[in-house]
Amino acid sequence: MKHMIFVAGLALALSYPVLAAEAPATKKVCVDVQGKDGKPVMDPKTKKPKQDCKEVKVHKKHEGTKLDEAKKK
């Protein structure tokens, strides 16, 4: 009986992180490509500046509590 309870508990514990895992929030960030002279490089087909785009994770800002003046000293 103890073995069955242990196996059931182990199965639940191992499945929890899989269920709780979420895909991190991302956003697309694009930056114009610049040449050696500092001017943007133009794409000959579209006549627009070339861009390097990357997917970046968005981090949540954690709000902290302010310390009391007595605790700072």
Question: pLDDT truncated to tens, each residue of the chain (73 aa)?
Answer: 878 787 788 777 766 555 445 777 899 999 999 999 999 999 999 999 999 999 999 888 878 777 776 666 5
pTM of the model: 0.46
pLDDT for 13 equals 74
Closest among 50, 57, 49 to 29, alpha carbons compared: 57
| Partners of residue 55 on adjacent β-strands | 28
pLDDT for 16 equals 57
User: How far is 11 from 16, CA to CA, in rounded Å?
Assistant: 9
pLDDT for 41 equals 92
pLDDT for 19 equals 46
Domain boundary assignment for the chain:
23-59
